[in-house]
Structure 1
Amino acid sequence: MAPKKVLVVLTSHDKIDAIDRSSGWYLPEFAHPYHVLSGKNVEITVVSPKGGVAPLDPASIELTKEDPISVGFLNNNKSLWENTLPLKQFAGRSGDFDAIFYPGGHGPMFDLVDDADSIALIEEFYNAGKVVSAVCHGTIALVNAKVNGEPLLKGKEVTGFTNAEEDAVQLTSAMPFLVEDRVNAVGGKFVQTAVFGNKVVVDGNLITGQNPTSASDLGEALAKAIGA
């Protein structure tokens, strides 16, 4: 059977601007879904707004040093994020894939949230009936997408990094806005579990996970949705 194909979109933004702190995408939020998907004959293509090296949040390396899946991914798969393809090259190519997936990290809050090429790709995938998925801060990439002139997230159950979680990591004041607030502002139905608890929400072909703890189950839900 032919492999299923997932397009993974990573941030190109490497810092939290307000505090000039290194950031990027968050290791377990790509590592765990990749671990699930690669074990189910799923091909992964990785893109970013700028192409080339997509910055990995160094804090996520330190915080997951006891997590064998993240450590193994870090040590064995650098080519995935060090040689990303430019996002804009994939316009009009939703037919080549079964799903699009946005890992989090604070980087997407600064670039993917309003990246026109990314937004157009999300709309293209969704309108084609393909799976649109994100975890943690990756959900912010979806808030400006529209379908038939209305926000894609309007009326949809959605999760992502919560206001309480941003408070817990003491970065609320450094953010330009908050994921939970932006989802609610466009009419999404933001749902959540306990701080840093595991929560994955499936609403049609839209799949979102709350935080890093949710990454493995997000991968499983994505695999199921595409029949992998």
Structure 2
Amino acid sequence: MAPKVLVVLTSHDKLGNTGKPTGWYLPEFSHPYEVLAPHVKITVASPAGGEAPLDPASVEAFKNDPISTKFLKEKEELWKKTEKLESFLGKAGQFDAIFFVGGHGPMFDLAQDPTASKLINEFYAHNRIIAAVCHGPVALSHVKLPSGGYLIDGQRVTGFSNEEEDAVGLTSAVPFSLEDKLREASGGNYVKADKAWGEKVVVARGGRLITGQNPASATGVGKAIYDAIFGELTTADEK
């Protein structure tokens, strides 16, 4: 049987009080999907279930990206018919990995979603792979283990940087700084690329914790998930 990956999308479609639409970010699903889909069974969930909002800005920004345009044209059912996240509670053992797609939407719903937190704890308890890209790591940033410590305490992690948030003009639109929260929860172990928008994929916990900084890191996160599932683990904790 093929390994199974649970992909989690946001259900949130409004960007703070800006009046602009938001959601999940196209290449952060399409690129890992391109890497993983031939080898694993992918199930897609969201907090509310049903259609998960796709950020229209990401469609426009990646209209010349063949992987994203193909995905947009052929795989619509993946995000139009998501399963409700809570239906997977108690089922972490049936999956090899959980992957949180980014976009600004997760900053508003997945950041402190109790169901997501429980599910992440279950994946952790089963020693499964926990992965996220761009704003997706916000789903991990508030999670505490039964011991009371943060899930990512002492672990090298990355995610959308303050510099990148400033560059897109949305620092005032998000409820808090993702970089600052990841730095706090990891005990100062947040890392990022040398330059904004550069690729940065960080692999920690022996391949069981995978985070990517931004859209440019999406393919790398997909490859890191593949490597972790199929045993091709890197010896370093960072790529």
TM-score, length-scaled by structure 1? 0.97
Q: Which has the higher helix share?
A: 1
CA RMSD across the alignment: 0.9
**2:227 is aligned with what amino acid?**
K
**2:210 is aligned with what amino acid?**
I
- Once the 2 structures are TM-superposed, how far is the Cα of residue 145 of structure 1 from its aligned partner? 1.1
1:200, 1:218 within 8 Å by CA — same for their partners in 2? yes
Residue of structure 2 in register with 1:197 after alignment: 198
> For residues 52 and 8 of structure 2, what CA distance do their matches in structure 1 show?
10
- Once the 2 structures are TM-superposed, how far is the Cα of residue 146 of structure 1 from its aligned partner? 1.6
**1:72 is aligned with what amino acid?**
K
The reply to whether residue 180 of structure 1 matches residue 189 of structure 2 is no
Structure 1 ranges of 4+ moved more than 2 A: none
The reply to whether residue 133 of structure 1 matches residue 136 of structure 2 is no
Residue of structure 2 in register with 1:31 after alignment: 30
Count of residues in Structure 1 that have an aligned counterpart in Structure 2? 226
> For residues 62 and 150 of structure 2, what CA distance do their matches in structure 1 show?
35
- Deviations 1:156-206, CA, capped at 9 Å, x for gaps: 100000000000111101111011011112225110011000000000110
The reply to whether residue 42 of structure 1 matches residue 43 of structure 2 is no
> For residues 53 and 178 of structure 1, what CA distance do their matches in structure 2 show?
27
> For residues 5 and 66 of structure 1, what CA distance do their matches in structure 2 show?
30
- Deviations 1:41-100, CA, capped at 9 Å, x for gaps: 211000000000000000000000110000000000000000000000000001110000
Residue of structure 1 in register with 2:113 after alignment: 115
Q: How does 1:1-228 map to 2 (within 5 A)?
A: 2-39=1-38, 41-147=39-145, 148-186=147-185, 187-193=187-193, 194-204=195-205, 205-227=208-230
**2:33 is aligned with what amino acid?**
Y
**1:56 is aligned with what amino acid?**
L
**2:219 is aligned with what amino acid?**
S
> For residues 126 and 189 of structure 1, what CA distance do their matches in structure 2 show?
19
Note the residue ranges of structure 1 that are not aligned, 5 or more in a row. none
Secondary structure of 2:71's counterpart equals helix
**2:191 is aligned with what amino acid?**
V
> For residues 16 and 120 of structure 1, what CA distance do their matches in structure 2 show?
26
1:46, 1:80 within 8 Å by CA — same for their partners in 2? yes
**1:189 is aligned with what amino acid?**
N
**2:214 is aligned with what amino acid?**
N
Secondary structure of 2:172's counterpart equals helix
Secondary structure of 2:137's counterpart equals helix
Q: Which has the higher strand share?
A: 1
1:18, 1:175 within 8 Å by CA — same for their partners in 2? no
Secondary structure of 1:56's counterpart equals coil
**2:203 is aligned with what amino acid?**
V
- Once the 2 structures are TM-superposed, how far is the Cα of residue 127 of structure 1 from its aligned partner? 1.5
- Once the 2 structures are TM-superposed, how far is the Cα of residue 5 of structure 1 from its aligned partner? 0.5
> For residues 197 and 185 of structure 1, what CA distance do their matches in structure 2 show?
22
**2:172 is aligned with what amino acid?**
S
Question: Which is worse superposed, 186-195 or 61-70?
Answer: 186-195
